[in-house]
A = this chain, B = another copy of it.
Amino acid sequence: MVNKRILLISNSLVHGGGYLDHCADEIFDFLGKIKSVLFVPYALKNRDKYEQTAAERFKKMGIILSSIHRKKNPIKAVLLAESIFIGGGNTFRLLSELYKNKLLSSIRKRVNSGIPFIGSSAGSNVACPTIKTTNDMPIIQPQSFKALNLVPFQINPHYIDSDPKSKHMGETRETRIKEFLEENKTSVLGLREGSWLRVEGKNIKLKGTGGAKLFERQKDPKECSNSTNLNFLLK
């Protein structure tokens, strides 16, 4: 059986840093000998500009990035890709466009066959069973909330702890995730900014600087550090 290889990043920008700077070493190491990436820019409106930003950053790593929105046949582009990177932005726009272009099953197939997959923010949301733990505004109705299901648990990217001094009465992130667990059974990993997950076969590693918080149904939330064994999430 081929090992799946998946890198799921909380956020592409850390305060004060440039695009993907905080995780560029990890991306470089993760891709290894692979020097070309198929980019999925659907989460942002301006795809040309998004491609340019991403291509410049990958070029610094010696990797050629080309965007799927320029391909005549997007499904074929996925089938030929050596690796795939789905960028952040609005998760609903992204998933809607993946459905419109009928790309979900071909991306899933390729990742199951062992090509490296990288997701950042909204790109990490769509790697999960559903997009039900996104933070984004539902600006477009996708045909379904079901997503790529590359990992069997949910990620909440940009996870942020409650500010005890806040006077804002909108739901905290923790409250929102607990609402999710009132209606769904899948566990949720809140990935703080600066963190990412590297999944290889049956192994999952939390990396980066932010840590994570794990939410399971009818259990107290658990703080996770880079040494926490999270392999059970893949079962």
Please list the residues of chain A having a beta carbon within 8 angstroms of any beta carbon in chain B: 11, 13-16, 45, 89-90, 93, 131-141, 144-145, 158, 160, 167-171, 176-177, 179-180, 182-184, 193
Contact = CB atoms under 8 A, between A and B. Distances in A.
B171 A136 contact: yes
Contact of A135 (B141, B170, B177, B180): B170
Given A134-B137, A176-B137, A180-B137, A13 B169 contact: yes
Nearest to A139: B180
Contacts of A180: 137, 139
Q: How many copies does the complex hold?
A: 2
A44 B167 CA distance: 22
A93 B193 contact: no
B169 A14 contact: yes
Nearest to A43: B179
Nearest to A142: B141
Contacts of A184: 139
5 contacts: A15-B169, A132-B137, A132-B140, A138-B145, A139-B176
Contacts of A167: 15-16
A54 to B, nearest CB: 16
A110 B229 CA distance: 56
A182 B139 contact: yes
Contacts of A89: 179
B139 A134 contact: no
Given A170-B158, A170-B160, A179 B139 contact: yes
A199 B221 CA distance: 43
A169 to B, nearest CB: 5
Contacts of A16: 167
Nearest to A182: B45
A136 B134 CA distance: 9
A105 B31 CA distance: 53
A138 to B, nearest CB: 5
Contacts of A138: 131-132, 134, 138, 145
Contacts of A135: 137, 170-171
Contacts of A131: 138
A139 B133 CA distance: 7
Contacts of A14: 169
